[in-house]
Amino acid sequence: MRVGLFAIFLALLMNGSWASSPSPSATDAVKKLYRDYSWEATMIGGPGPWIGDAPKMVLEQYLDKDLAAIWLKSRTCTGSDCAVDWIGYDPLRDSMDPSGFYNVTVEATNDQHVVKVEMSGPYVPGQICKTEEDRRVRLTYSLQLTALGWRISDIQSAEHGSLKAALLKALSEH
């Protein structure tokens, strides 16, 4: 009986029928980032630091080693002319203030290395006539498959351009 059960188990294993769940996609990696940092849109204090201040170990859960290194280095400043607000915006929401964003959608594209994110922004004083569509934030994530899974290598926005370029610029100004 044991030999028979072992043979069935071995056959299932060899046929792939007993495979573990499929490895997460690039889209899953971006969804995880937004799920883990959703609190930024609704509360001032949260379970951890703002993504801009996150430690290396946390950043490397989401970013590739190159972007994480640039991100961390751009926060280090020793001169008297350092930028006060790092790059000046929250790259996950392409905004100075992460609060109030809602209706976040994360979608795959035809390129497995590119993920599109859209979300609605909050009402902004002086923009009372803006439609819901005008307040949509659109981001393009570039990802690389690493030994640890999918990691973000850049975030592009119409407002701020490339996150990597902004961080490199902040570094050159220090």
Q: What is the pLDDT along the chain (174 residues), one digit of tens a residue?
A: 444 433 333 333 334 333 334 568 999 999 999 999 888 777 666 666 778 888 999 999 999 999 999 998 887 765 555 544 567 788 999 887 777 888 899 999 999 999 999 998 876 545 555 555 557 899 999 999 999 999 999 999 988 899 999 888 878 776
pTM summary value: 0.77
Contact 150, 143 (CB under 8 A): yes
Q: What is the DSSP letter of 158?
A: T
Domains with residue ranges and CATH for the chain: 23-172 (3.10.450.50)
Contact 152, 29 (CB under 8 A): yes
